[in-house]
């Protein structure tokens, strides 16, 4: 049963199990009724045999009583002791017959009462015959002898009536038992037949359910095989796309960069010549050309980084100490931090499993944005802190799984949260490139890094009140003790 249903859904297994259990119960009930009917039939046969024995014992008792009476009469009339032989043979049998009858009808009060009356008649008749043997008609006792003989006849008639009544009662009881047994047997046959039909129906229904579930499972397996084939085809297409993306990255890093470098080189020469001449308009045009070329170079480099993330290059998980990583990034930006008179507060950050260069890009881009989108006349203040949370706090995460939530907040210009999804799209900007420089790909890279690490990124902000970017990463290994905290260590560089 388990072998047949272990691959079926839980509900199907329950239905089929209930069907087979019901069939087994019906079979057990049918077996129980058959056993009961057999026992009842045996009991009825036993009662019939007991009745036959009772009737036989009653007849034997009456016969022995007749022998006693006949032998006594013969002796009284002839005074020949030869007539007493049947009497002497019958007298020992009477107590045995009475005792056996008492044992057989002990559960029948009416018959027991009749037997008690019969036993009294037997004893009285034996006593009377004993008295009669002592009398002799030749001695002038004929009147008394006739009286005893008449009394004996009356008592024998009473005994015959009692025996006949008892025999009739036994036969009626036998007939009643036979009728009850017949009814019980017929009812048992009908019930067993109905149970057999119900069992057959239940088995058919269970078999059809099992066959239907197996057929459904086969269809599902066929569909899954079809989906698997489609998935393999999609994977093949994806691998082909990745290969094309890698080729594109190669072209972007070599073929596109090479002519751009030449444009920048010759443009630099022309810009110097235009500056040496008095042609202000040409110098302005050349400056714009060089700015555009520089911006295009940055876009190609950022696109190259994004394509490397998409292609999954170098995705080897390693242990990363985020405190050390942030220290390196802040050290690289030391001059910019000093120039802006910025303060950076870094809390205790955990040790995680991740792809080092991607996690570094993630933090570098977010810290760079915090240092870039600042309010005029307000010294930047950046705070980085972390805490452990459960995945049920965000619908995008796996409930019950532990995660690390890292928040990078600033006091910059902020943004309207209606643009929250917009800012994480590639080449999307909320400000003109003349106001804030950049290619509009940094946050798209951050989102791609988080997706690669099966995490989540979001932000909370209000215009003019700063922004807080929230990155959530799963704890790929048991969370180790936090690195030596630098919560009391504030990266604060005064303006030079």
Query: Residue 295 and residue 272: Cα distance in Å, rounded?
Result: 20
User: How remote is the C-alpha of 228 from its chain's centroid?
Assistant: 27
Q: Which two tokens stand for residue 307?
A: 């394509």
Which of 216, 233, 268 finishes a domain? 216
What pLDDT is stored for residue 480 in this prediction? 39
3-state secondary structure of 396: coil
Query: Could you tell me if 446 and 369 are in contact, meaning their C-beta atoms sit under 8 angstroms apart?
Result: no
Are 475 and 421 part of one and the same domain? yes
Are 305 and 326 part of one and the same domain? no
Are 336 and 275 part of one and the same domain? no
Q: Which two tokens stand for residue 423?
A: 């800012």
Are 332 and 427 part of one and the same domain? yes
> Which residue, 349, 12, 448, 420, is CA-closest to 214?
12
Are 291 and 327 part of one and the same domain? no
What pLDDT is stored for residue 345 in this prediction? 92
Are 297 and 379 part of one and the same domain? no
Are 286 and 427 part of one and the same domain? no
Counted domains in the chain: 3
Q: What is the pLDDT along the chain (496 residues), one digit of tens a residue?
A: 444 445 455 666 676 677 677 777 777 776 676 667 666 666 766 777 778 888 888 888 888 888 887 887 777 777 777 878 888 888 888 888 888 888 888 788 888 888 788 888 888 878 777 777 776 555 556 667 677 777 777 878 888 888 888 888 888 877 777 777 777 777 777 877 777 787 778 778 777 777 777 787 788 888 888 888 888 888 888 777 766 666 666 666 666 667 777 777 777 777 777 666 656 777 777 777 777 777 677 667 666 666 666 555 456 788 889 999 999 999 988 888 888 898 999 999 999 888 888 888 899 889 988 888 888 888 899 999 999 988 888 888 888 888 999 999 999 888 888 877 777 776 555 554 544 555 567 788 888 888 888 889 888 888 888 899 999 998 764 333 334 343 333 433 333 3
Are 138 and 62 part of one and the same domain? yes
Give CA separation, 51 vs 100, 171, 268, 439, in Å.
13, 7, 134, 114
What pLDDT is stored for residue 386 in this prediction? 92
Which of 216, 247, 275 finishes a domain? 216
Are 140 and 180 part of one and the same domain? yes
Q: Does an H or E element contain 321, and which?
A: strand 318-321
DSSP-derived letter for residue 252 is I
User: How remote is the C-alpha of 413 from its chain's centroid?
Assistant: 53
What pLDDT is stored for residue 38 in this prediction? 62
What pLDDT is stored for residue 136 in this prediction? 59
Q: Which two tokens stand for residue 52?
A: 């036959």
Q: Print the domain residue range for 159.
A: 2-216
Are 272 and 338 part of one and the same domain? no
What pLDDT is stored for residue 310 in this prediction? 53
What pLDDT is stored for residue 242 in this prediction? 66
What pLDDT is stored for residue 141 in this prediction? 65
């Amino acid at each position: 049963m388990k072998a047949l249903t272990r691959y079926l859904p839980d509900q199907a297994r329950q239905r089929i199990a209930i069907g087979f259990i019901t069939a087994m119960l019906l079979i057990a009930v049918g077996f129980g009724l058959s056993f009961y009917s057999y026992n009842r039939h045996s009991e009825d046969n036993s009662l019939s045999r007991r009745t036959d024995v009772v009737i036989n014992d009653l007849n034997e008792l009456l016969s022995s009583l007749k022998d006693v009476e006949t032998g006594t009469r013969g002796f009284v009339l002839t005074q020949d002791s030869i007539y007493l032989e049947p009497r002497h043979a019958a007298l020992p049998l009477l107590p045995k017959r009475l005792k056996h009858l008492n044992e057989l009808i002990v559960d029948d009060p009416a018959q027991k009462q009749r037997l008690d009356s019969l036993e009294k008649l037997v004893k009285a008749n034996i006593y009377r015959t004993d008295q009669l043997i002592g009398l002799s008609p030749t001695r002038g006792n004929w009147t008394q002898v006739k009286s005893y003989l008449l009394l004996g006849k009356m008592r024998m008639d009473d005994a015959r009536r009692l025996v006949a009544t008892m025999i009739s009662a036994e036969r009626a009881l036998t007939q009643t038992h036979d009728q009850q047994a017949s009814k019980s047997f017929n009812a048992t046959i009908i019930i067993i037949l109905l149970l057999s039909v119900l069992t057959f129906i239940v088995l058919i229904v269970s078999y059809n359910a099992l066959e239907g579930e197996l057929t459904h499972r086969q269809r599902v397996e066929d569909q899954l095989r079809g989906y698997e084939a489609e998935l393999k085809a999609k994977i093949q297409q994806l691998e082909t796309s990745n290969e094309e993306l890698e080729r594109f990255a190669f072209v972007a890093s070599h073929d596109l960069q090479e002519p751009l470098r030449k444009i920048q080189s010759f443009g630099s020469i022309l810009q110097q010549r235009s500056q040496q001449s008095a042609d202000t308009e040409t110098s302005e045009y050349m400056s714009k050309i060089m700015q555009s070329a520089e911006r295009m170079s940055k876009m190609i480099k950022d696109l190259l980084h994004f394509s490397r993330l998409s292609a999954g290059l170098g995705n080897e998980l390693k242990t990363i100490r985020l405190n050390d990583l942030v220290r390196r990034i802040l050290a690289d930006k030391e001059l910019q931090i000093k120039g802006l008179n910025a303060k950076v507060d870094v809390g205790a950050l955990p040790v995680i499993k991740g792809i080092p260069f991607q996690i570094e890009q993630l933090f570098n881009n977010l810290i760079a944005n915090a240092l870039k989108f600042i309010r005029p006349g307000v010294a930047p203040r950046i705070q980085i802190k972390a805490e452990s949370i459960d995945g049920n706090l965000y619908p995008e995460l796996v409930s019950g799984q532990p995660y690390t939530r890292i928040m990078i907040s600033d006091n910059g210009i902020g943004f309207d949260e209606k643009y929250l999804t917009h800012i994480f799209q590639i080449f999307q900007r909320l400000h003109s490139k003349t106001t804030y420089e950049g290619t509009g790909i940094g946050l798209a890279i951050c989102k791609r890094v988080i997706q690669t690490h099966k995490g989540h990124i979001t932000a909370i902000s209000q215009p003019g009140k700063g922004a807080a970017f929230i990155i959530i990463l799963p704890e790929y290994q048991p969370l180790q003790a936090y690195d030596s905290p630098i919560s009391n260590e504030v990266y604060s560089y005064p303006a030079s």
